[in-house]
Structure 1
């Protein structure tokens, strides 16, 4: 399978080049030349397959012969070695738990798969692969743990100072080895802009072999389709064959992967894009005018994105058809006050604790269901991070109900290893050159 740039449909590169170059020089994003349709007998019988089997079928269709079958199976079995259960909370209300990986966030799917793919393609003696990544919270920890110890790689993570939770910061700053963390005095959008600027800098590209681990990398997007197919498989076992997904949305890679799965034949009735106060996309869906704006800090910090990179992929899948887009996606946005209220509502109703991002997804699902009553359609909201990562958000009663995983307890007392830089590209560039 070849891949093209969303800014140049005539461009053609192989999967390996798309993974390592991450972003085309024209500043577009890579997409598969054709989106393969999975066989109907596979879709209809998904309930007969395990997660790893589903992942192999989906990846094989998208990658074709880029990686031999046995090698691809080995990569998947190593990367996706945790579960992603669909849990029923109420009538036609289900939660897809995506926080059972090492960093306790859905981004483990993409980060671990991508790190294994890059490790597979890297050869001994090649130039060190410098991976640059901006994070608003969970991406940093997932990438750090996904790449920790991977030979011939060096990971540089930029995060906004004071705008990630303490546990998120511990996950990305306490690793050492081949992982470096930089606190940027700015927002996530600033961090993302610095990374993009680095990719466009001729001197840095001459000196380093640069790539990205953000969701702009196609190797992050592909494995995120796996859990949509697997969620549907679990619903089939429950006797449900119709589904809507409510997806917490920041940089829009998560819902972008769901839409890619839908394009491949997954029978999804509708997608719900749930955002916080950073409501660029919900406003666009209402007005038809796309107006990026500076991000604002919220309780759901991993979604604090004012100009989501992956939106261009979604527009590309719909060929800028706003009518078709609105038929398949509905956007909702919520304030911090509404988020806090929702966390309590979910706990009181189900005795279930959700993180702020997940709360927004549940709220969006229930609001959508109120206007679209259909007993045949299962509503699934995505739980994207373990609630223990946001201890300051909860009331004492709810906090006491959270079971803190051992991996989090192990982080306590580990020294923070980080560098503080201003929101200035020259300072970032100088750091990379001096420490290269």
Structure 2
């Protein structure tokens, strides 16, 4: 199995090189060069399979360099938590992806990557530097996933004042081999500087860099697992519509990748906040990236979604093909708060702002776009819930007029002191810092 660049000007590589490089030499993103279809037997007998079984079967075709035992261990140790499917209302379900250590779906990718990188690491004399931009949950997941891993150091860039209080404490209090850089800018600025670092030949000659953002294909492969796991929890004859709260669009791209392996899906709904670049593209065929807007669903505050490049590649650059598989909608902070309140009052279920936006998209789809995918009327909706509501208590509590209970593993970080290093929004300053400290 070889991975190719979305830009098409780099030679195909095995998974190890694609994962450790992060970006392809031509600046493109790695994507599988072929799509092995899992057997009909696998899909027809998916009901009741556990998350680890599914994960191994889905990732094995992509990882040639590690033996069966090592891959099994990576899955068993890395994905050691559940992702239950909870019935919300008639024909709508919530796939809870926040049962990992940092209470966010990013735990799937970060823990898988940490164990994979550790297995791949051969040069014991040089540290591997994980350089990642975060709009919130990526930072804490990467920090915890790689915490204490020998020979690997983590450098997180996050936008000052644009992540929630708890998210900031999670990513700035890890310590050990994890450093947080607080950038005077937006997530898009952080992401731009990370990409510049990977494209800087002089920097890469001196440091061994890799990424844990969704620009890295190793993040997306484990995110395929839970889409299929949702199927295993549904009735056998149900082909769902997946509704995905989306910012950088790695999560939705992972669903498209799972579909390429044969996963049945009636379609995908891309749910965004005011940063509506992709819904706009789906409506007009024009891709217009721009500066991100700050919202209460901050993990989705992305104005230049990197994974559009992969999506564009998967659909052969054909707007009509993409539009036939994905429907998009965007919602304001006001609507988001209204949805949090409505779902809590009507169903007794508490959603974080990102999940609430996905719920809104499902409701709007039912009213305005039913039949868009030519699905059967009984097609269930699976809403991907990407974070525990306790991570956004400052937003949610005034909406429901109640305190949000904080899980113990989250409350522990509230007792710690934030440790971050301020950084100008300037790549040359970042480069200088990296060379001085690593």
What range is the shorter-chain TM-score in?
over 0.9
1:184 aligns with 2:183: yes
Q: CA deviation at 1:125?
A: 2.1
Look up the match of 2:392: 390
CA distance in 2, matches of 1:72, 1:247: 28
Within the candidate set 365, 368, 373, 1:368 is matched to 365
Look up the match of 1:108: 107
Q: TM-score, normalised by structure 2?
A: 0.96
CA distance in 2, matches of 1:82, 1:300: 24
Moved more, 373-382 or 96-105: 373-382
Q: Given the superposition, is the C-alpha separation of residues 434 and 381 from structure 1 closer, same or farther in structure 2, using an over 3 Å criterion?
A: same
Q: Deviations over 1:218-252 (max 9, x none)?
A: 1100000000000011013xx55220010000000
Q: CA deviation at 1:412?
A: 2.1
Moved more, 178-187 or 397-406: 397-406
Look up the match of 2:55: 55
CA distance in 2, matches of 1:317, 1:401: 44
Look up the match of 2:84: 85
Q: CA deviation at 1:304?
A: 0.3
1:322-401 equivalent positions in 2, closer than 5 A: 322-370=319-367, 371-372=369-370, 374-396=376-398, 398=400, 400=402
Flag structure 1 segments of 5+ consecutive residues without an equivalent: none
Q: TM-score, normalised by structure 1?
A: 0.97
1:394 alignment partner, SS class: helix
Moved more, 95-104 or 421-430: 421-430
CA distance in 1, matches of 2:9, 2:310: 12
CA distance in 2, matches of 1:319, 1:399: 48
CA distance in 2, matches of 1:325, 1:9: 23
1:414 alignment partner, SS class: coil
Flag structure 2 segments of 5+ consecutive residues without an equivalent: none
Look up the match of 1:2: 2
1:272 alignment partner, SS class: strand
1:136 aligns with 2:112: no
Q: Deviations over 1:139-186 (max 9, x none)?
A: 000000000001100100000000000110111100111000000000
Look up the match of 1:94: 93
Look up the match of 2:232: 233
1:31-430 equivalent positions in 2, closer than 5 A: 31-63=31-63, 65-123=64-122, 125-236=124-235, 239-370=236-367, 371-372=369-370, 374-396=376-398, 398=400, 400=402, 402-430=404-432
Q: Deviations over 1:353-390 (max 9, x none)?
A: 10110000010011112231754211111100001111
CA distance in 1, matches of 2:271, 2:123: 44
Q: CA deviation at 1:66?
A: 2.5
1:410 alignment partner, SS class: helix
Look up the match of 2:30: 30
Q: CA deviation at 1:123?
A: 2.7
CA distance in 2, matches of 1:434, 1:124: 21
Asked if the contact 1:35–1:62 (Cα under 8 Å) also holds between the matched residues in 2, the reply is: no
Asked if the contact 1:240–1:377 (Cα under 8 Å) also holds between the matched residues in 2, the reply is: no
Give every structure 1 segment of 4 or more consecutive aligned residues whose post-TM-superposition deviation is greater than 4 Å.
Answer: none
C-alpha RMSD of the superposition:
1.3
Q: CA deviation at 1:25?
A: 1.6
Q: CA deviation at 1:35?
A: 1.2
The count of residues paired between Structure 1 and Structure 2 equals 433
